[in-house]
Amino acid sequence: MQIAVGILTTRGGLASHAAVVARGWGKPAVCGAENIEIGTDHILINGERIDVGETLSIDGASGEVIRGSLQTTKVDPIPALATLLTWADEVRGLAIRANADTATEAKVARDNGAEGIGLCRTEHMFLDEQRLPVIRKMILAETPEQEAEALNDLRDSQYNDFVELLEQMEGLPVTVRLLDPPLHEFLPNIDELIEAAARNELDEQGTALLGAAQKWRERNPMIGTRGVRLAWLKPGLYEMQTRALLDAISNRIAAGDEPSVEIMIPLTVSGKELSGIRHQIEAVIQDHEATTSIKIGTMIETPRAALVANELAEHSDFFSFGTNDLTQLTFGFSRDDIESRIMGLYLDQELLDANPFQNIDSEAVIELVRIGIERGRNTKADLAVGVCGEHGGDPTSIKLLAAIGVDYVSCSPPRIPIARLAAAHAAITDHS
């Protein structure tokens, strides 16, 4: 995806992983085009053959896929818009942060007026061709020593990324989410490995990767071994990431910066679960020479987490609501499947008022967020609360979130100007 000019997928939708990542990179994407059949050297779109090497034009706004190359025009910045955004910043109460994983994305975010990073997804730092073999080495490790060696290599890579990110943000708050996805996402496709094994094409490493893929394969990985659960199985992962972050903080302090860093633990569902991992992270911090104060918080991504927010707040300096997963788990909808098959029908038949992955559900999901905020602040009155799902860049959602006491929203860098205007509109509407 990183080297692609645009993204076209047969599955997914507006809130699918491919769409979210493409938005963050500012690349056009059409996800969930089910009428596409993929061959080895061609694709079929509604029966029409497109060979490898042919050009397609895709419109991420309308969802159109057009054969051939279309002329595009670069839109220059509009001075009047910059003035309007400045006025908007003067009246809005909601802070606007960005979902950004690299220094390049952080620069775009700052150019668009972001006041910090509300979500840095550290797993994206592992997915390039140079680093993927290293995390696979960690997964394949048979001894603690082998795992520690691989984690040290990963630490060096993460350190460099964190240094660049903190340098770009120049003291603005940066919220770093520790590793979230299940480990199988870093392994080759298991079906392709099985086919290669059947053809006797796997070498020793390929056979080992097949064994690991079978070991970590899950029927429903979205609610399986990921996030904080993975940290309990492999505590070295979060410890390594914390050390890399602390080293980067020390680097920026030595350079004269004053980095503001928050560590976010994903997918917690109980106070005991959160407390144990927080203690591990605090032990690493206490052993390090970094002198800055670091906040440790959690993502609220499940209905249970929202309902036991009073318990989670005892061990958390801040909450960040991951409304993509919270929406999935509240509705029982898979964002990678439901949009392309069911969503259009449900909207046409008025079974839903709006796509809940686009506009936050105003009956159940927003109520869970409100309950989570209320119960969390009953335990800790000064608890900071953010929202880092795709709803953070949607004007309708921003209005609802501002009304229930959210401190900031975080969205992909290209959507920040929209969020700034929407937050100002919400403040003016509330005042009037």
Q: Which residues are known to be catalytic?
A: 17, 388
> How far is Cα 315 from Cα 298, in angstroms, rounded to an integer?
9
Strand order in the sheet with 48-51: 36-38, 42-45, 48-51
Continuous segment of H or E residues that includes residue 161: helix 144-169
Tell me 30's DSSP state: E
Q: Burial, 262: exposed, middle or buried (Cβ in 10 Å; 0-12, 13-18, 19+)?
A: buried
Encoded amino acid at 328, one letter: Q
Give the number of C-alpha atoms closer than 13 A to the C-alpha of residue 177, restricted to the C-beta side. Answer: 29
> How far is Cα 178 from Cα 239, in angstroms, rounded to an integer?
10
> How far is Cα 191 from Cα 188, in angstroms, rounded to an integer?
9
Q: Are 323 and 366 in contact (CB under 8 A)?
A: no
Among residues 46, 188, 72, 37, which one has the least CA distance to residue 127?
188
Give the number of C-alpha atoms closer than 13 A to the C-alpha of residue 102, restricted to the C-beta side. Answer: 13
Among residues 398, 397, 426, 391, which one has the least CA distance to residue 119?
391
Q: Measuring CA to CA, how many Å separate 85 from each of 107, 157, 225, 283?
A: 18, 37, 42, 43
> How far is Cα 139 from Cα 137, in angstroms, rounded to an integer?
5
Encoded amino acid at 225, one letter: T
Sign of CA dihedral 367, 368, 369, 374: positive
